Structure 1
Amino acid sequence: MLDSEVLLTIKLHQQIFVDPKRIRLLREIAKSGSISQAAKNAKVSYKSAWDHLEAMNSLSPIPLLARNTGGKNGGGTTLTNYAKRLLKLYDLLEQTQHKAFSILQDEQVPLDSQLSATARFSLQSSARNQFFGTVKSLKQESNHCAVEIQLPLLDQPITAFITPQSALRLQLVLGKEVMLMIKAPWIKLFAKKPQKSCNVFHALLSSANQQPNTKEIILTLGKGLQCFASIENTVKIQKNDQLFCYIDPEQIVLLTM
């Protein structure tokens, strides 16, 4: 693994709002409740600390510091809730940057797709089948919205049924990139083509792995799309069998950005 350092700078109005040095200063203020002590801990002069704080406050839409006067400890300086949230956001952005850089070496991750790249380093799911495609059509039916999604390696689209409210919340439009999540047990296998209106695909059984109660199998669909299915041990199949698989449109979860 690469020993990398990714430094994050945020600008507002074309001027530096926060950078690693300013973030450290805010963190030290949060710990000590004192600008002078924070400057010492951050190894900057008091004047430099004030200059940084003034620059941030002049750009910030909400004040970052709150002064406490009097009291048992003689007052001090604390962070506003906005500044505390800023520190948390900065931490999240740093983590995201490091994870994003980590996928550079994985040539299987396309970097021309924001959804695909983000999903690879941000999402963890129990669904073994995670595919990416684009919305081909949207059809409002009686109690659901039928979303046809074209995957690059499939000749025919795959259809997902979601609620109209979900389609609106996901802001689905033609051509939008979406991620499909399908758990292995949701893929059903047939020796003969089933009479279904959609989501029936010719499948080649590429491998089968015996488990205590089930068989974990890998299927190859279309032009090389691999998907995982789970079936009972009593089902007799073997490598290179030509099968048909069916995916229930209501068992497909859609994600997008």
Structure 2
Amino acid sequence: MPGMRKDVFSIEALGHEPADKRMDILRLIGSTGSISEAARQAGVSYKAAWQAVHTLTNLAGVALVDRAVGGAGGGGAKLTAAGEQLLDAARQMDAARRDVLARFSGGAAQALPGAGLRTSMRNNLPCRVMQLTMSTPGDPMVRVVLALPPSVQITSSITRESAELLGLQPGLAVLALCKATAVRIMAGAAPAREHVNLIAGKVTRLSRGSVRDEVVMSLPGELQLVGFSDHPSRLRAGSAVTASVEENAVVLARV
């Protein structure tokens, strides 16, 4: 990757271990010397493998892969010194993580895998993948149907490459994330709209504003969702409300 340093990586790149296949792809590039072979062994497309490399490189702030293009040998790829160091750090972090999780089981310890996420998104909802619907061959998007305990369903729209790198499949535990500003909360029920999630609940807490009112609503299963309603509103604690969230505003993360 021209113009990038090749010695010291940023620790931010370790945020993807062991959440998805990005680090696995980096390992496979190191062992096979080929991005296409790494993609094949990881079970993802060549495009998804390159997305993994670009994402990790951006997070690391240094070049992780050197690629030789063309030539008699057909080209290849190898890890830089920083790439090797990143994998070593990831191995040590994964071993330490497994050691900590092994000391605890059940109860609040179940929150540990997702507790390390640092994000501006205030809505972090544990759920499971129910179904993946592939669009037409020319469409790069995948619709992921998610089950929130005990009986709420929402849908996320993500790229095929992201679905591959996350290794999404029915039954997989994930986190559904969305910004509070992407959640519009209205009194009562709301008419169905294409590609929009409608989630029913009750107001738990209300903070009045001059333009918008911030609303914390409770969902079945003791989950909470934060969003905004137009000001002024007649909402009160206990009011029945519906949250409206577009599918493309729901981000998925592995736990």
> Same fold by TM (over 0.5)?
yes
Instruction: Kindly provide the CA deviation profile for residues 203-227 of structure 1, in whole angstroms up to 9, marking residues without a partner as x.
Output: 1111102346532211012233211
Determine the C-alpha separation between the residues in 2 that align with 1:195 and 1:219.
20
Select which of 136, 139, 143 maps to 2:133. Answer: 139
CA 1:167–1:210: 2 relative to 1, 3 Å: same
When the two chains are superposed, the root-mean-square deviation of aligned CA atoms in Å is: 3.4
Unaligned runs of 5+ residues in structure 2 are 1-80
Instruction: Please give the residue correspondences for 1:237-252 in structure 2 after superposition, counting only pairs within 5 Å.
Output: 237-252=235-250
Q: Is residue 100–residue 118 contact of structure 1 (8 Å, CA) maintained in 2?
A: no
SS at match of 1:199: strand
User: What's the TM-score once normalised by structure 1's chain length?
Assistant: 0.55
Structure 1 letter corresponding to 2:160: P
Max Rg structure: 1
Q: Which residue number corresponds to residue 220 of structure 2?
A: 222
Determine the C-alpha separation between the residues in 2 that align with 1:187 and 1:168.
27
Q: Which residue number corresponds to residue 146 of structure 2?
A: 149
Instruction: Kindly provide the CA deviation profile for residues 152-178 of structure 1, in whole angstroms up to 9, marking residues without a partner as x.
Output: 23x232110111221122111111111
SS at match of 1:108: helix
Question: Structure 1 residue 99: deviation in Å?
Answer: 11
Q: Is residue 125–residue 175 contact of structure 2 (8 Å, CA) maintained in 1?
A: yes
Instruction: Kindly provide the CA deviation profile for residues 167-208 of structure 1, in whole angstroms up to 9, marking residues without a partner as x.
Output: 122111111111111111111223332222452122111110
Determine the C-alpha separation between the residues in 1 that align with 2:132 and 2:94.
37
Q: Which residue number corresponds to residue 127 of structure 1?
A: 121
Q: Which residue number corresponds to residue 160 of structure 1?
A: 156
Structure 2 letter corresponding to 1:146: R
Q: Which residue number corresponds to residue 10 of structure 2?
A: none
Determine the C-alpha separation between the residues in 2 that align with 1:202 and 1:96.
40
CA 1:156–1:119: 2 relative to 1, 3 Å: closer
Q: Which residue number corresponds to residue 176 of structure 1?
A: 172
Determine the C-alpha separation between the residues in 1 that align with 2:132 and 2:90.
38
Q: Is residue 122–residue 178 contact of structure 2 (8 Å, CA) maintained in 1?
A: yes
Report runs of 4+ in structure 1 exceeding 4 Å deviation: 94-101, 103-107
CA 1:229–1:91: 2 relative to 1, 3 Å: same
Determine the C-alpha separation between the residues in 2 that align with 1:147 and 1:118.
21
Q: Which residue number corresponds to residue 4 of structure 2?
A: none
Alignment of 1:89 with 2:89, yes or no, is yes
Determine the C-alpha separation between the residues in 1 that align with 2:145 and 2:222.
20
CA 1:247–1:85: 2 relative to 1, 3 Å: same
CA 1:92–1:211: 2 relative to 1, 3 Å: farther
Question: Structure 1 residue 140: deviation in Å?
Answer: 0.9
Instruction: Please give the residue correspondences for 1:1-257 in structure 2 after superposition, counting only pairs within 5 Å.
Output: 85=85, 89=89, 93=93, 97=97, 100=100, 107-110=107-110, 116-120=111-115, 122-142=116-136, 143=139, 144-153=141-150, 155-191=151-187, 192-197=189-194, 199-211=197-209, 213-256=211-254
Larger deviation, residues 130-139 vs 222-231 = 222-231
Unaligned runs of 5+ residues in structure 1 are 1-80, 111-115
SS at match of 1:196: coil
Determine the C-alpha separation between the residues in 1 that align with 2:99 and 2:182.
31
